[in-house]
A and B are shown apart, each in its own frame.
Chain A
Amino acid sequence: MKSDHAVVLKDVSFSYNRGLVLDNVSLRVKNKDFATIVGPNGGGKTTLLKLLLGLLKPDSGTVEILGRSPEKSRLKLGYMPQYSHLDMQFPVTVMDVALMGRLGSNFWGRYSKQDRIEAEKALEEVDLKEHTNNHFSQLSGGQKQRVLIARALCSDPELLLLDEPTSNVDQESELALFSILKELNHRMTILLVSHDLGFTSQVVKSVICVNRKIKIHPTTTMDGTLIKDIYGGDLKMIRHDHRCTEEGHYHD
């Protein structure tokens, strides 16, 4: 039976040694949603993502991804980590990295012709086809992020999770990235962690605020109270949403 929700969290709590990070939170993300997870540093964004991926286990409560446990749905998840934790001197080509997304189907981990075709297709989708045989470390920050997206895509995921895809990239790469994501959203649910609220409001359908508790807002209600919720203080919001009128709105 297929659930209409890609993500269902029920009464989830999680703590590290230093204390409670997520306090009895519940969350539902619909299929084909494009949601962004925002909140202050240390508020539990990355923890939430790792719970969704099944890399962490909740102390209490349940996590359901695509109607099953995160471990069982694992192969249907696409995940783009931050590239900063990767070793930049590691001898791999762009193709090598993309192909890693095709692992998991067989015991020896051999890649078939089909795997190579899928990896090439994914690289083409993120506009990196001409870099296929380049060394991973030679790419710019934005290109590295896109290789990691291609790696996530070539497993044909139903849910795509991205960890701060807009950090360390310039404005132009960021725009390119979001136009790719917008396209992908037609066929998969997208959840991304971001610290950049102003930008997300243009493409994102809903905002999940994490700061020990979770609050969900449709993007239409973006206003001062939301910002206060997230950052816990009155801040001035800079409006740079005038582009919306040209491209149409993506609000629910």
Chain B
Amino acid sequence: MIDFFHALADPDLAFLRNAFIVGIFASISFGVIGTYVVTKRISYLAGAISHSAFGGIGAALYLNTVLGLSFIQPIHGAIVSALGAAVITGLVSLYAKEREDTVIGAIWAVGMAAGLLFIDLTPGYFEISSFLFGDILLISSHDITMVICLDTVILLTSVLFFNKLLAVCFDDEYATLRGVNASRYYILLLCLTALTVVLLVRIVGIVMVIALLTLPPAVAGKFTSSMGKMMVLSVFFCMVFNGIGLGVSYSMGLSTGPVIIVIAGVTYLGVISLKRIKALVKSS
């Protein structure tokens, strides 16, 4: 682990330091938004949103290469399509008289399919797996700027509207009766989720990012019963998972994304098992 800290300071390994900084900053949004996602029980929607970001990544590569719009980067496509998917899933779950999970599953798969088709249409070879599972080698200082900007937007919105979002998550019908436009805040929450998911696409990839959104709050929820404290603890756990995951993956030469996710998953399992064992010991 000591080499890892040396490596962080090594000027030749700028990508590693960038990845570390991105991970730490992104954790702030992940902890806050993840807590909403977990308590409102919309992780399935968040899954659909993150996967459909791939559609935008494909479209951006196509626009960039085929139409020569060089200012369009994959991450921009991811942001646009994740936001689009957030609005569509929100509207479907609020108004469409369809089976919600069917439609969400469809958005999930169609988003990915569209991305793959765009990549097929784009000449040249692309490392698809770097988007799906993350690749820290691709992280630049530009990503840090973007993470900080999005962090600011997400944090400001979710903290300033905390009470309204809390009321909508807890009891949307009652929030409506208090003059809060519950549907609007619900869609706002999904849009914030979309922006958050995009932040860590580079590190853990769109397939696994959902776990990093839900596992830190799930662990945090075992230690507190207040929404605010749950957010702060989730931010902390998310930072720890990202930091340790990066360190372990660097030291052992493993892919970063999967290591982070496995650490998060094992921690969650560990925490619930310990709680169970404690309860058993107490009762016996």
Contacts and interface: CB of A to CB of B under 8 A. Distances in A.
Interface of A: 53, 55, 74-75, 77, 79, 81, 86-87, 89-93, 96-97, 99-101, 103-104, 108-111, 135, 137, 151, 155
Given A55-B173, A75-B178, A100-B171, A108 B224 contact: no
The listed residue with most A CB atoms (<10 A of its CB), out of B162, B170, B173, B230, is B170
A109 B39 contact: no
Interface of B: 39, 41, 160-164, 166-167, 169-171, 173-180, 221, 224-227, 230
Contacts of B227: 91-92, 96
Contacts of B173: 55, 81
A91 B177 contact: no
Contacts of B225: 91, 93, 135, 137
A53 B240 CA distance: 47
A55 B177 CA distance: 8
A104 B167 CA distance: 11
Contacts of A74: 177-179
Contacts of A108: 160-161, 163-164
Contact of B167 (A89, A103, A137): A103
Nearest to B35: A91
Interface residues of chain B: helix, strand, loop or mixed (majority): helix
B74 to A, nearest CB: 35
A111 B163 contact: yes
A31 B164 CA distance: 31
A110 B167 CA distance: 12
B224 A91 contact: yes
Contact of A92 (B166, B175, B177, B178): B166
Nearest to B39: A90
Contact of B230 (A81, A91, A93): A91
Contacts of A97: 170
Contact of A86 (B171, B176, B178): B171
Given A79-B174, A81-B174, A91-B39, A100 B167 contact: yes
Contacts of A77: 177
Given A92-B227, A108-B160, 19 more contacts: A53-B177, A74-B177, A74-B178, A74-B179, A81-B171, A87-B170, A90-B169, A91-B226, A92-B166, A93-B226, A100-B175, A101-B178, A104-B178, A104-B179, A108-B161, A108-B163, A109-B161, A109-B180, A110-B163
A109 B163 contact: yes
18 contacts: A55-B173, A55-B176, A75-B178, A75-B179, A79-B177, A87-B41, A89-B39, A90-B39, A90-B169, A91-B39, A91-B224, A91-B225, A100-B167, A101-B178, A108-B161, A108-B163, A109-B161, A137-B225
The listed residue with most B CB atoms (<10 A of its CB), out of A55, A81, A101, A103, is A103
Contacts of B221: 89, 91
A104 B221 CA distance: 29
Contacts of A90: 39, 169-170
A20 to B, nearest CB: 19
B173 to A, nearest CB: 7
Contact of A109 (B41, B164, B224): B164
B70 to A, nearest CB: 41
Contacts of A111: 163
A116 to B, nearest CB: 12
Contact of A151 (B162, B166, B174): B174
Contacts of B176: 55
A99 B171 contact: no
Contacts of B161: 108-109
A111 B39 CA distance: 22
B233 to A, nearest CB: 11
Contacts of B170: 86-87, 90, 92, 96-97, 100
A101 B173 CA distance: 12
Contacts of A93: 225-226
Contacts of A75: 178-179
A100 B178 contact: yes
Contacts of A87: 39, 41, 170
Contacts of A99: 163
Contacts of B179: 74-75, 103-104
Nearest to A138: B225
A109 B175 CA distance: 11
A89 to B, nearest CB: 8
A75 B160 CA distance: 22
B11 to A, nearest CB: 44
Nearest to A71: B179
- Of all A-B residue pairs in the complex, the 6 with the closest CB atoms, nearest first, are A104-B179, A109-B164, A109-B163, A135-B225, A103-B178, A104-B178
Given A81-B174, A92-B227, A103 B169 contact: no
A108 B164 CA distance: 8
B166 A96 contact: yes
